[in-house]
A and B are shown apart, each in its own frame.
Chain A
Amino acid sequence: MTEGYAIGITGVGAVTPAGWGVPAMLKCLRHGAPLESNSFQAQGMQKKYRLRSVPKPDNLLTLFRNPRLRRTSPVSRYLAAAAFEAMEGRSLDDFHQKGTRLGVVVSCFTGCVNYSQRFYGEVLDDPSTASPIVFPETVFNAPSSHLSALLGSSEMNYTLLGDDAQFLAALELGTQWLLDDEVDAVLVAAAEESNWLSAEGLSMFTRSPIVGEGAAAILLEPCRSPEVKVELITDSLIYKTRDSRQETLLAMRSQLPDANTTDILFESINEGTLWEDFRGPRINVREILGEGFGVSVAWSCAAAAGLLGSREFNSALVSGSGMDQSCAAMILSGH
């Protein structure tokens, strides 16, 4: 990357329980009221879970007719839709003609849980008849593989596993690829799909959880004067022991300048008094959209970039305290 350039966010995409696209997400977040939830239960099970699901799209997106997406579970479709929204206005042909090297980084926590459940269920019934079509879609990097194929990019593609803070680590990786001249642009995305197994798992750690699902994507590129600029991403800090969470969050905060120099805060979960002194407006996407597992912090990042892009704020702080593994934070500035 040439000196004098900054790393800019040049595209944003989101699929949320509020709808398909960043505008639907921002409208919902501006309104501030938690979305309605539904209850669902696994087949043959008594227990019910609460869910904020992604509404069906008004029209079947043309994208979904691509052979790579025909047999996929929702997670790949959410990812593709968010990614292509982030690429909107950027012709793929233009990318290819200019020889722009487009890298892909996807982070997730539960991954392709629907097909994993289905395939393992088949294995328990009779492994000799388990579906060869379903198995490949259980692999963690199946969604990101589909995405690279849809984008026609044979450049580097990583799938990162981790809790919701992992999205900030994925953004950091994207900045490294740009700094190291591995690629010319990086699409960083996260996606999750709802499933009763994840809801059941979450219920062991959270009281009355409401599960969400969807995706978010951010296009990073070197720019001279970007509309939305990545100012800072802290180190990704691990919770060394189960008891060290608060201490780690404080260490994360110590890497940031005075939080009150930013206009809006995107909070995360279980942060205690970490942002008690923050005086500006704050948004907690989980309370409004649901627990998105690996995509919650990604929604925050996409929303922050969206609000800065529309010039409603000049700077934003995204706090990404992961559920049980790590934390990081990011500051974005507007033009």
Chain B
Amino acid sequence: MGFHSKSIRKRGAYRVVVSGVGIITPMGSGWTSNACGFRAGKCAIGPVTLFDVTRQKAKIAGEVQLPNSLPSTRLSYRQEKRIDRAGAMLLAAASEALTTSGWETDKMEEPVPVCLGTSAGSMRLGEEYYRAAIQGMTRRHQAERISGYQAHRQALNLCEGFGVNGPVTIISNACSSGANAIGHAFRLVQMGHARHAIAGGYDALCKMVFAGFDSLNALSSTFPRPFAVDRDGLAIGEGAALFCIERLDDAVARDAKIYAEIGGYGAATDLHHLTQPHPEGKAAVTSMSRACADARINPDQVGYINSHGTGTPLNDSAEGNAINKWAGASAEFLPVSSTKGGVGHLLGGAGAVEAAICLMAMAGGWIPPGISVEKVDPVCQFDLVQSPRDMPGLAVSLTNSFGFGGANATLIFNAVTGR
């Protein structure tokens, strides 16, 4: 890491794999409960209980049932007491990712970059800070709130809690943040800037963001049903997913479990509007094409797409058009689903969680179905998966993440065989 003009060298070409995964969503905590839930097409969205929504149009969200205690870390009791909902989810995902990776962080000689995506992080602490400030209340706890609200602080808790030395990169590209963070970490390792990395995304529910999406009429007043012709919006969710990422040869040398190879990453910016995608999904076509070029595959080699599929009229039609254009003649046979009908839109956590779902699908040989779709939007010229489906030998999956501001990101994962 760092930059030195005297050591400018050609780009590396390392194969990069995921060797540890941690996940927590409204579907549950950990790989197994999430894999079972997504495979079956369960819906974990329900009435909002975390804050008052009586004056909002929307009343539902995907809430995480937090574990009763934080995972075992090196943080002090006092530090743990300051960790809020977002930080708790981040630590839960980190604990599982590091445990499954088998990494012994104390023995890792090279820096372990931590690349996280989030859109609001611990906004609930920011909300508390603001309420206390305008009420002119005592300054007690205000310093903790303003410090804890910063996404970097949660990342530093992760580093201190698990003995990781960083550097820390927080990417806040709205709803594509998690995918961008994984893509960034992938590049660091692929190009030889780092030997390994921890990457993923997280976001916790908070009133401000909920009200924001509600003000835009982007939230469903019924249930989210991505790609249904009568879809009426999304449900917000919360959660986190983290990956341990390293070179294939390193993972093989230590006989680690390999979840998948990261085949490619593509990103592009949609200039159409701050909150609306270009109707034809131009930037989405670019990000998918770039990821494919990076992975050296053609669209017809992709076995499954976990779409961004929020359930808003504009997003799904733009993404549908983009997939049709990008896949061309092979679209008809391309299985596509959105898992946001089951857990909601996890914002900065979405890209990472949906990447983890791709790995689950590849590991188990199945495709997670979209749910609640009665009549499919005619934009879907592809195979919209609406019920649980087995897909043995699923070898290549792709996940899209698009965000406010036009941030578009695509990740491609390959099964690793014959190691």
Contacts and interface: CB of A to CB of B under 8 A. Distances in A.
B136 A45 contact: yes
B268 A154 contact: yes
Given A180-B191, A204-B139, A205-B143, A159 B269 contact: no
Contact of A141 (B153, B166, B403): B403
A166 to B, nearest CB: 8
Interface in B363-401: none
B166 A238 contact: yes
Contacts of A141: 172-174, 403-405, 407
B56 A127 contact: yes
Interface in B171-197: 171-174, 180, 184, 187-188, 191, 193
Given A128-B55, A136-B275, A158-B180, A326 B152 contact: yes
A51 interface: no
A201 interface: yes
B141 to A, nearest CB: 11
**Which size bracket describes the interface of B in this complex?**
35 or more
Given A120-B208, A131-B215, A154-B271, A159 B5 contact: no
A221 interface: no
A142 B151 CA distance: 17
Interface stretch (B123-131, B246-254, B301-309, B351-359): B123-131
Interface in B111-157: 111, 118-119, 121, 126-127, 129-131, 133-134, 136, 139, 142-143, 146-147, 150-153, 156
B165 A197 contact: no
A161 B169 CA distance: 8
Contacts of A149: 271, 406
Contacts, number: 221
Nearest to B286: A154
A119 B208 contact: yes
Contacts of A7: 3, 5, 8
A283 interface: no
Given A153-B269, A154-B270, A232-B4, A325 B11 contact: no
Of the listed residues A123, A144, A237, the one surrounded by the most CB atoms of chain B closer than 10 A to its CB is A123
A271 interface: no
B23 interface: no
Given A123-B208, A156-B269, A231-B5, A145 B404 contact: yes
Contacts of A166: 152
B217 interface: yes
A139 B404 contact: yes
Interface in A1-32: 1, 3, 5-7
B191 A241 contact: no
A126 interface: yes
Given A233-B2, A240-B159, A161 B152 contact: yes
A92 interface: no
A119 B130 CA distance: 12
A132 B139 contact: no
A201 B404 contact: no
A201 B271 contact: no
Nearest to A175: B3
B416 interface: no
B3 to A, nearest CB: 4
A133 to B, nearest CB: 9
Nearest to B190: A180
A139 B119 contact: yes
A7 B8 CA distance: 9
A142 B146 contact: no
Contacts of B217: 132
A44 to B, nearest CB: 8
A125 to B, nearest CB: 10
A234 interface: yes
A48 B191 CA distance: 50
B184 to A, nearest CB: 8
A140 interface: yes
A282 interface: no
B30 interface: no
B156 A152 contact: no
B215 A238 contact: no
Contacts of A148: 269, 271, 406
B168 interface: yes
Contact of A176 (B126, B166, B187): B187
A68 interface: yes
B143 A146 contact: no
10 interchain residue pairs of minimum CB distance: A145-B405, A135-B212, A140-B172, A238-B166, A236-B167, A201-B146, A161-B170, A132-B215, A233-B3, A127-B211
28 contacts: A45-B136, A104-B269, A109-B150, A117-B130, A119-B208, A120-B208, A123-B208, A123-B211, A128-B57, A139-B119, A140-B119, A141-B173, A142-B404, A152-B271, A154-B283, A158-B171, A160-B172, A175-B3, A176-B3, A201-B142, A230-B3, A230-B5, A232-B4, A235-B1, A238-B166, A240-B159, A324-B147, A328-B2
Interface of B: 1-5, 8-11, 55-57, 111, 118-119, 121, 126-127, 129-131, 133-134, 136, 139, 142-143, 146-147, 150-153, 156, 159-160, 165-174, 180, 184, 187-188, 191, 193, 207-208, 211-217, 267-271, 274-275, 282-283, 286, 403-407
Given A146-B274, A176-B193, A240-B160, 13 more contacts: A46-B136, A120-B208, A123-B211, A141-B172, A141-B405, A142-B274, A179-B9, A201-B129, A205-B143, A232-B3, A237-B166, A238-B156, A238-B167
